[in-house]
Chains A and B, each alone.
Chain A
Amino acid sequence: MKLQISSRIAIFALLELAACPERQLAVAEIGEKYGVSSHHLAKVMQILARAGLVRSARGVGGGYQFSGNARRTTLLEVIQLFEDLGAGDANSRLAEATAEGRALREVVAEIDDVASATLGSITITTMLKLVDRSRTRGCRTSASGRRKIAGSPAGASISAMRGHTDKSRPS
């Protein structure tokens, strides 16, 4: 399955913020890491804020902070803020008038059910564990010998990579 870009951006932003809930990050900083325009990301952040998953911090250097429940918020809930998973298009609705269309719908519904169950069972906290594991594996297999950030965990944050402490505001 392919997620819409807004869903992917939202998940990335939530992972960045939930990795260190006390920290504030500016839209530009998150956008830079994932190659997303600040304009697009700002719209995504507004939707996440309305859902109560992030809160904006006012003032100079203000950014966003995670405000959701990372142990309870699932990928499915985030994705559904931006797209309707499993929604058929007009052509498929027409085809459902046929036996072939209905049979195909059953198969697609089975796939959708599995996708929903998967996305609905993976929380932000679980994703952060997967990110850590992926990063650890990446470090083990990387032959590039990249410089390790002193004292940082495997999941080095954007701020840490730039020499900021967790509570520091982005420059």
Chain B
Amino acid sequence: MEATTPVKAGTLAVRPVRAADVPHIVALDKRVTGLAKPDYWREVYARYGENRGHEPSFLVAESRAADKSAPARSPILGFIVGEVRAWEFGSAPCGWVLALSVEPRARLHGVARTLFEALSAEFKAAGVDKMRTMVARGNRLHLMFFRSEGMAAGPYLQLEKELD
């Protein structure tokens, strides 16, 4: 397990993801979800990462102090992925938060909020005035966070069906 830099107030930095972050993201996601998904995260990086060609929507948070001393080895404290989508499900253009994760030992230090605000700014800069996400009903941690950031149930219901 990677060592995590303690988060001090005002020491967080958010930047676009880099290729070197992907192994850290895979490791963080595995720590949080219990499942390693390296192919998935490489694909997400290819789609939303630095080579995307326009506004980055895959952001990582790291400690400023750690970044100065050893930028290449600085473990990330969290990441967020988002995208502006238009007219899917009949929805006018809006920003989607597709993934958000924070290093468990760095929680309650504003990492998720910093990432969320950075992505919100990206969305606003892209010209949308609404953002949404989807969270499993049982995922109280994420639900509580998004609620605390002012998100509420939107006008869509997610439906699914078991395929026989």
- Give residues in A with beta carbon < 8 Å to B: 71, 74, 113-114, 116-118, 120-123, 125-126, 129, 133
| Chain A proximity mask over B47-86: 1 for CB below 8 Å, otherwise 0 | 0000000000000000000000000000000000000000
- Inter-subunit contact A129/B148 (CB<8 Å): yes
A123/B144 contact (C-beta < 8 A), A118-B153, A129-B150 known? yes
Interface residues of B, Cβ cutoff 8 Å to A: 137-138, 140, 143-144, 146-148, 150, 153
B150:A114 contact, CB within 8 angstroms: no
Contact B138 A121 (CB under 8 A): no
Q: How far is the CA of A125 from the CA of B147 in the complex (A)?
A: 10
Q: How distant is the Cα of A120 from the Cα of B136 in the complex, in angstroms?
A: 13
A122 touching B137, Cβ below 8 Å? no
Which residues of chain B are within 8 angstroms of A122 by Cβ–Cβ distance?
A: 144, 147
A123–B148 Cα gap in the complex (Å)?
A: 8
CA distance A167 to B146 in the complex (A): 32
Q: CA of A21 to CA of B84 in the docked complex: distance in angstroms?
A: 40
B148 near A120 (CB under 8 angstroms)? Answer: no
How many angstroms between the C-alpha atoms of A122 and B150 in the bound complex? Answer: 10
A114 to B154, CA, bound (A): 13
Given contact pairs A114-B137, A117-B138, A74 touches B144 in the complex (Cβ within 8 A): yes
B143 x A121 contact (CB < 8 A)? yes
Given A113-B137, A114-B137, A120 contacting B150 (CB threshold 8 A): no
Are A121 and B150 in contact, CB atoms less than 8 angstroms apart?
Answer: no
Give the docked Cα–Cα distance between A32 and B34 (Å).
Answer: 51
A149 to chain B, nearest CB (A): 25
Task: Verify B144–A121 contact, CB threshold 8 A.
Answer: yes
Q: How far is the CB of B117 from chain A (nearest CB, A)?
A: 15
Among A113, A117, A118, A125, which residue has the most Cβ atoms of chain B within 10 A? A117
Partner of B137, one of A74, A117, A126: A117
Task: Say how far B24's CB is from chain A's closest CB, in angstroms.
Answer: 28
What's the minimum C-beta distance from A14 to chain B, rounded to whole angstroms? 16
User: What CA separation (Å) do A118 and B33 show in the bound complex?
Assistant: 22
The 3 closest A-B pairs by CB, nearest first: A121-B143, A117-B137, A126-B148
The residue in A114, A126, A129 that gathers the most chain B C-beta atoms within 10 A of its C-beta is: A126
Known: A117-B137, A120-B140, A121-B147. 9 other contacts (CB 8 A): A74-B140, A113-B137, A114-B137, A116-B137, A117-B138, A118-B153, A126-B148, A129-B150, A133-B150
Distance of A73 from chain B, by nearest CB (Å):
11
CB closest chain-B residue, reference A120: B140
Distance (whole angstroms) from the CB of B160 to the closest CB of chain A: 11
Closest Cβ neighbor of A114 among chain B residues:
B137
